[in-house]
């Protein structure tokens, strides 16, 4: 089944009482690369992960992992998981914990390799109770990675990590990506999505709002905004290259463009009297805000 | 490493043993309570020599109650709350291994406690059962783990950790006292005696007394049938709770 996508959710709905956590979610993650699932709190990210993992039963729609039911052991042996909330049993040591999970997979890494990957070298015999919050998270990362999974599902992997540990984890995620793993992570750190992901999927109110590369996402939503005083009328402005929309704010024209440089070049040629020029570039954050507010 | 169910079970079981060995705050009360109570009521404070064998039968059932409700039930509730249960349930560990490893651990633990009670009875109380009676007693005591553990598991799946502790306490004393595990139920008023007869602990204690030759064996199958009905009903309740977990 080499053609089956690692993750495929089709028209998944899931309600809790009157709250619709997932509202016809369609999501397909192709093999390879890092995909970030972005959304505000309550957008349905964790519910989506729960359905993907077969932990939650969707009210309707289907979830498939490599074409299999997510509850199928054959599917699970290809997934490594890091959940948002998990405290590992206090009485077991780091090494015992990693060996236990390694033992579920047919072809795991040596536990020491997983620990090194997660930056826990030398802590093998430490009890989980004695780990800091950040070390607990890293241990969970080691557990997710130890089975050499084809698909890593990481729910808010860097929560509770300080900046240095977060950057170390990013490096590790990139390493696993280079080894060919498909990685899906949820995050509300836009910086994290921007730093790591090949593809971003924005979900809100249980549906996919937009998806694409980080650059695409930035331009899809707000692109860049050119504000200026111009003698050109709206039709002329709209005919400029890459212009998506033209509006007015007071005497200023507000032009949204997918390519500010190209639009500017044409605009300056067409209107020699152009004045009071201002170009605002959107970061992922602005793009994201615009998307979820829509 | 092998990914056969048996190999995974073996490693999970080992981890459960390690966990409880390193958790004396759980192990000591559930281990010490039945042993000390037996030594106290069955031997030291007993007015008649018949108390020692009688109470081996009933305290053996009592020994199964604590580890099943507190170790197993509260243990599951705690791990559910902490999220490690969720992590295991999405891992490639076959789902049934998790409760099975804990159940096996409970059996080992209870076997240890009843062995200590037997030893005290023999060496301090002069108890002498035939080998067949010992085997029967041990079988009933091990059977006790099943309905109690399913009750614990049901708590574990439906309550939060603190709630599970509270419920386990609420169930623990009536099951022990009204079931006649501490003293014969004929010391209670009539309505409590009637109430006792719906409890699985009562029927297990009766079976243990029959197995030890201290009671007429006539109604053994009735006690067994009621115990197995409880076991089945609790298994259905657990299956419902497991299914509910996914909603």
Domain coordinates in residue numbering, chain A: 7-218, 220-293
Question: How far apart are the C-alpha atoms of A77 and A80, rounded to whole Å?
Answer: 8
* Closest CA relative to residue B63, chosen from B103, B100, B105, B33: B33
CATH number of A7-218: 3.40.50.300
Chain A residues close to B3, C-beta within 8 Å: 77, 103-106
Asked if the model's pLDDT at residue B127 lies above 60, the reply is yes
Residue labelled with tokens 């989506």: A48
* Closest CA relative to residue A279, chosen from A291, A266, A259, A289: A259
Strand duo A182-187 + A151-155: pairing: parallel
Who among A77, A83, A108 is closest to B83 (CB)? A83
Q: How much is the average pLDDT of A244-265?
A: 83
Which pLDDT value is given to residue A67?
94
Strand duo A151-155 + A79-82: pairing: parallel
Phi and psi at residue A105, to the nearest 5°: -105, 150
Give B131-177 pLDDT, tens digit per residue: 999 999 999 999 999 999 999 999 999 988 889 989 999 999 999 99
**Could you tell me where the DSSP H helices lie in B67-96?**
75-82, 84-89
Question: How far apart are the C-alpha atoms of A148 and A136, rounded to whole Å?
Answer: 20
Asked if the model's pLDDT at residue A46 lies above 70, the reply is yes
**Selection from A158-162, A210-214, B202-206 with the highest mean pLDDT:** B202-206
ipTM score for this prediction: 0.86
Q: What is the dihedral of CA B97, B76, A128, B28, to 10 degrees?
A: -110
- For chain B, the domain total comes to 1
Which pLDDT value is given to residue B1?
64
Range of the domain at B190: 5-244
CATH number of A220-293: 3.30.70
Question: How far apart are the C-alpha atoms of B35 and B148, rounded to whole Å?
Answer: 19
Q: Do A85 and B7 touch (CB under 8 A)?
A: no
Substitution target in B11, B71, B90, B96 with the highest count of A β-carbons within 10 Å is B90
Give A121-180 pLDDT, tens digit per residue: 999 999 999 998 889 999 999 999 999 999 999 999 988 888 888 888 999 999 999 999
Who among B82, B92, B93 is closest to A87 (CB)? B82
Q: Is B78 on the interface with A (CB under 8 A)?
A: no
Mean pLDDT score across all residues of chain A: 88
Which pLDDT value is given to residue A193?
86
Question: How far apart are the C-alpha atoms of B51 and B49, rounded to whole Å?
Answer: 5
Substitution target in A76, A104, A144 with the highest count of B β-carbons within 10 Å is A104
How confident is residue A31, by pLDDT bands cut at 50, 70 and 90? very high
Chain B residues close to A79, C-beta within 8 Å: 90, 92
**C-alpha distances in Å from residue B69, one per residue of A185, B87, B149, B155:** 38, 23, 6, 8
Question: How far apart are the C-alpha atoms of A259 and B70, rounded to whole Å?
Answer: 65
Residue labelled with tokens 């005290």: B120
pTM of the model: 0.83
Tokens at A168, concatenated: 């170390």
């Amino acid at each position: 089944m080499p053609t089956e996508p690692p993750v495929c959710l089709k028209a998944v709905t899931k309600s809790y009482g009157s709250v619709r956590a997932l509202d016809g979610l369609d999501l397909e993650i192709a093999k390879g690369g890092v995909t970030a699932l972005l959304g505000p709190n309550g957008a349905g990210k964790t519910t989506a992960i729960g359905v993907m993992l077969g932990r939650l039963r969707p009210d309707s729609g289907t979830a498939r992992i490599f074409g299999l039911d997510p509850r199928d052991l054959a599917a699970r042996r290809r997934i490594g998981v890091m959940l948002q909330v998990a405290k590992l049993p206090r009485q077991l040591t780091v090494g015992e914990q990693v060996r236990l999970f390694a033992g579920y997979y047919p072809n795991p890494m040596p536990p020491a390799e997983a620990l090194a990957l997660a930056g826990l070298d030398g802590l093998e015999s430490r009890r989980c109770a004695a780990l800091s919050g950040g070390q607990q998270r890293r241990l969970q990362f080691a557990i997710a990675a130890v089975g050499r999974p084809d698909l890593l599902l990481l729910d808010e992997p860097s929560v509770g990590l300080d900046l240095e540990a977060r950057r170390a984890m990013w490096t590790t995620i990139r390493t696993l990506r280079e080894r060919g793993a498909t990685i899906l992570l949820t995050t509300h750190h836009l910086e994290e999505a921007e730093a790591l992901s090949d593809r971003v999927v924005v979900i809100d109110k249980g549906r996919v709002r937009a998806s694409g590369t980080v650059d695409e996402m930035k331009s899809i939503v707000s692109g860049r905004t050119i504000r200026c005083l111009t003698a050109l009328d709206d039709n002329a402005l709209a005919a400029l290259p890459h212009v998506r929309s033209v509006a007015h704010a007071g005497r200023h024209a507000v032009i949204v463009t997918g390519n500010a440089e190209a639009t500017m070049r044409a605009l300056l040629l067409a209107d020699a009297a152009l004045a009071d020029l201002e170009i605002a570039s959107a970061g992922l954050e602005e793009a994201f805000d615009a998307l979820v507010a829509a | 490493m092998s990914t056969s169910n048996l190999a995974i079970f073996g490693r999970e079981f080992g981890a459960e043993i390690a966990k409880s060995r390193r958790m004396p705050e759980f192990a000591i009360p559930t281990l010490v309570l039945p042993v000390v109570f037996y030594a106290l009521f069955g031997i030291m404070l007993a007015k008649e020599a018949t108390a020692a064998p009688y109470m081996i039968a009933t305290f053996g059932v009592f020994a199964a109650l604590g580890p099943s409700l507190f170790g197993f039930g509260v243990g599951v509730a705690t791990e559910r709350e902490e999220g490690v249960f969720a992590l295991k349930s999405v891992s490639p560990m076959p789902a049934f291994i998790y409760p099975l490893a804990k159940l096996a651990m409970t059996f080992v633990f209870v076997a240890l406690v009843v062995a200590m009670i037997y030893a005290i009875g023999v060496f301090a109380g002069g108890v002498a059962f035939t080998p067949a009676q010992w085997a029967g007693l041990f079988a009933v005591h091990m059977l006790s783990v099943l309905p109690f553990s399913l009750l614990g598991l049901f708590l574990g799946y439906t309550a939060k950790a603190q709630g599970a502790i509270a419920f386990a306490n609420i169930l623990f004393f009536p099951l022990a006292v009204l079931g006649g595990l501490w003293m014969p139920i004929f010391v209670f008023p009539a309505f409590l005696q009637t109430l006792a007869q719906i409890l699985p602990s009562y029927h297990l204690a009766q079976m243990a007394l029959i197995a030890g030759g201290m009671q007429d064996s006539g109604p053994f199958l009735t006690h067994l049938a009621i115990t197995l009905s409880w076991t089945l009903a609790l298994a259905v309740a657990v299956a419902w709770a497991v299914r509910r977990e996914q909603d």
